[in-house]
Structures are given as C-alpha cells and as structure tokens.
Amino acid sequence: MKNPAYKHLIPKPVRVAEGEGVFSLTPSTRISVQAGQPGALQAGQYLADLLRSLTGLALPVEENVQAVEPGCICFTSQGASSAGGEEGYLLEVAQQQVVFRAQSFSGYFYGCQTFRQLLPAAQGPWQIPAVRIQDYPRFAWRGVMLDVARSFFPPAEVKRLIDLFASYKLNRLHLHLSDDQGWRIMINSWPKLALHGGSGAVEGGRSGYYSQEEFRDLAAYAHSRGMLVVPEIDMPGHTTAALASYPELNRGGAAPQLYTGRKVGFSTLAAELEITYQFVADVLGELAQLTPGPYLHVGGDEAHSTTAEEYRLFLERVHAIVAGTGKRLIGWDEIIQAGLQPTDLVQIWRKDTQPREAVRQGAQVIMSPCQHAYLDMKYTPETELGQDWAAIIEVKDAYLWDPVTVYPGIKEADIAGVEAPLWTETIYTLRAAEYMYFPRLLGIAEMGWSPREGRSWEEYRLRLAAHGPRLAAQNVHFYHSPQVPWQEG
Ligand code: TNX
C-alpha cells in the first residue's frame, strides 16, 4: 500500500514496525475481549460503537478466556509490556487478526485511537496494512483547558470536544469555571453564585452554568474517554462574578455589578475576612465531592489588587482547605511566591517566570508557556478571532518548542506534562473554539505523548497534512494553515 496511514499517526508512536499482508474489516469480524481483564470489555464496546457507526458492520463483542483468535479484533493483557505503564499499549495488526495488549482501560483506549487513525478517514475499503506498534506517553499530564467562564459552553459541546481531544490521547480537561465575567457551577450552599454569577458573560459571550448533575455527567463522560476533569475556581483575583452574587464577601459589604469587560486584575476576595474562608471551604468542598479526579485548581493568577502579604495569607488558608478535601492543589505560576507544598502542581504560563523556583520547593510543573501553548492567540495578525498580547502563534510556533528547554534549569522529571489553554474573551461558539484548537492542539498533544527524538517540524507538517481530511470528516472547523500541505479528502 502506498503511503500507509501508520506513517501519519499523531501523536507519533514510540515504535512502528511494518508487517506482511493486510487486515480487512468484514461482516464476519468479531471483537473478542479477555474475560476478567479490567477495562478490556469497556474498550471493546467503545471500539465496536465507533466502528459500527463508521462502517455499518455488526461487530459483535464477546468475552472469552482465550481472547486471541483468527478473524477477531482482540483485547488482552497477555504480552502487554509493563514498560508502558497504565496508558501504554501494544497494537498488532496482522492479516488474520488485530490484537490490543494493555494493562488497563486507558491503554486499550489509546490503542483504539491509533487503530482509528490507521483506517481511512471516512470511506472504505476498511483495510489496514499489517503493522506492530508499541506505544506509551512521555508525560503523564497531557492537558487542554477550556475557559467556560468568559463564555459558557453547554455540556453537549464540551462532550464533542472531549471526543476530539481524547482522539489525540489528551488526558486532562481543565475547566476554568469562574472568573470576573461568570460563575459556571452550581454550589448548593451558595446558590446565587450560579443563579446570579452564571447569568453574566464577557460582552458577546454566552451565559449559563452546569448543574451538579450535568457536571458529574461531564466528568463521567470524560472518564469514559480516558480524561480527568480538572475544575478551576480562580481566586483571590478574577472574582467579580462571586463578589457580585454575595455582598457579604465584599469589604464594606456592597456587591459590585456583574462585569462584561475583558480587562482583569481589579477584583479580589478579602484575605482578612473570615467569611472568605467559609466561602472557599464550601465551594471547594462541594467541588471535591463532584470531581472524581485528585486535583483542584485554585487559579491564583493576576491578583493585582491583593497585596503580597494578603496573597500569602490567603494561599496558606487555601492550602489547608484543599488538603482537607483530600485533593492536590494546582495553581497558576503566581502561587510560587506564596510558598508551595511538595504535592502542588504549578501551571507555568508567564514568559519570564521561574519554574525552577517551584521545583526547588518540591513541586512539579505543568508547561503552558503563553508564547507557544495559548491557543487563544491569533495564528497570524489577520486572524479575526483571538488576542495577540503573548505572541502570534502559527501552527509551527505551537509545535516547535520543548517542555524541558523552554525555561532554564528544568529537568524532564520536574515536569508533569503540558497543557494548552483556550481563553474565551473573543471565542463565543463551538465553531470558534474548534478553529483556535485545531490544528494547533495536535502539536501540543504530540509534545505531551511522543518522545523528543525522531520528530521535526518538516516531517510533522506532512503527518499533519493527512489529518485535514480526518478533521473535515468530523466536521471540525479548523484553520487551514498555509504552512501545511493539506491532503485532499
Ligand atoms: C491571562 S493566563 C489570563 C487570563 C486571560 C488570558 C487571555 C492567565 C493565568 N490569566 O485571565 O484570559 O490572559 O489571553
């Protein structure tokens, strides 16, 4: 087969070895999962659903003791390499059968994503040249952020994005749930946050909030796609929507109006008021209950109207509250100044920040350098959507950086991984969000998953070109960068 799809995989796998022959999906293809193997049945059913809607084939799923049989797509832990960890997989495509070998659902799930990319974008014949792929991630944290606070994104849209994100092996969905312009999650003990704060948005953006049931459902949906939801409540700055909802949170007891502007840095919770910590404990307590993952993101960025002393005092109390929920604290890199706990994760975003100071204090870092990873930045000066304060970020600029060398004094082991944020001061619709994420997010996903060696922009752009028809087949509204020699459908 000319130009086989295994040459265009994104993220690029660790090892690919060409085999002999071709595997075909046929009306008699069955899916066979190892009985009693955690995650195998779930992954088998996931793949059956995916392939049924693509091909119209029946693809029955069977549980078997001996899972590997000719004519099957098989899921088994036998022969899975332990080197790859929970998320690693071995995928063997042979003329007679396909075998996924992994230790857990996420390993099988990522094998399925690779398998999907080996099939044609939209139309049969449903054939794959024989190939053996061994694969596992470089970093544990492969994140993407959606700012639902400036402009709200309803659950159905977030689910579509989750499917797209997970197909590139991203595993963290960071939801920025509160900001000056809006509050997006119902907190039962402080209902006006959502009822009043949720009615706001940046000018032009959408208002709304997630009920607790919707949020739980979103987290469960993400989980079924290998993604952990990381909820963020931004504090002590970026809090106008909360301050507008409860006068008693304000110094002087008067609530401000809801805010629809773009400029931030003026609002703050009152570090000296005890009710502030009642509020924080109630909000984070409910959020911890709603969130299956082990992390709570507390923001901490751009608190320009909080003094250094107030900021330290506030973060000290917040650290204790988060510890009380049993979760790990994450904050933007400003929290380095407040003093860190070794369990903290620090999300690095500013160009001139010092991640090694976080590492010195024992924390790990998540790399989101604004000049490369901020997907609300314009592609070119002419891009209608987005901002340009951090950089102009073409597809190449989003790809050509490395998490270890982007800041001085950092080692691979200091880094939990990478994350691409999408701030939504100018991004109000799913279509607009897709345009900013895609295709830059594929490069960030590859940075999080694939080894440094053996990759370059010159070969990446050719692989990316093959994803144009794949994105188009899913009706993704993406930027057709002139840097990429896009393939026709
Ligand atoms: C800076 S990045 C912010 C956000 C804005 C973004 C716009 C960060 C931690 N704070 O509040 O939305 O710039 O690009």
Average pLDDT, the chain: 96
Rounded to the nearest whole angstrom, what is the distance from the C-alpha of residue 264 to the centroid of ligand 1? 9
Given 302, 310, 316, 394, which residue is catalytic? 302
pLDDT in the model for residue 2? 63
Residues with a CB atom less than 6 Å from ligand 1? 264, 301-302, 332, 349, 374, 376, 387, 423, 425
Q: Whose CA is nearest to atom 7 of ligand 1?
A: 423
3-state DSSP call for residue 415? Answer: strand
Share of the chain above pLDDT 70, in %: 99
- 113 neighbors 91 (Cβ within 8 angstroms): no
Q: Whose CA is nearest to atom 10 of ligand 1?
A: 301
> What is 5-135's CATH number?
3.30.379.10
Q: Where in the chain is the domain with CATH 3.20.20.80?
A: 141-451+468-473
pLDDT in the model for residue 244? 98
**141-451+468-473, superfamily in CATH?**
Glycosidases (3.20.20.80)
- Ligand 1: nearest atom to the Cα of 350: 2
Which stretches in the chain have pLDDT values below 70?
A: 1-2, 489
Ligand 1 test: best mutation among 151, 202, 262, 302, most atoms within 8 Å of CB? 302
Q: Which two tokens stand for residue 137?
A: 């991630």
For the chain, first and last CA: distance in Å? 18
**Residue 127's beta-bridge partner residues?**
24
Q: Where in the chain is the domain with CATH 3.30.379.10?
A: 5-135
Q: Which two tokens stand for residue 309?
A: 């002393």
pTM: 0.97
Q: Whose CA is nearest to atom 4 of ligand 1?
A: 423
pLDDT in the model for residue 1? 58
Rounded to the nearest whole angstrom, what is the distance from the C-alpha of residue 423 to the centroid of ligand 1? 7
Active site residue 302: yes
Q: For residue range 327-367, what is the model confidence (pLDDT) as tens digits?
A: 999 999 999 999 999 999 999 999 999 999 999 999 999 99
Half-sphere exposure of residue 293: CA atoms within 13 angstroms, side-chain side: 28
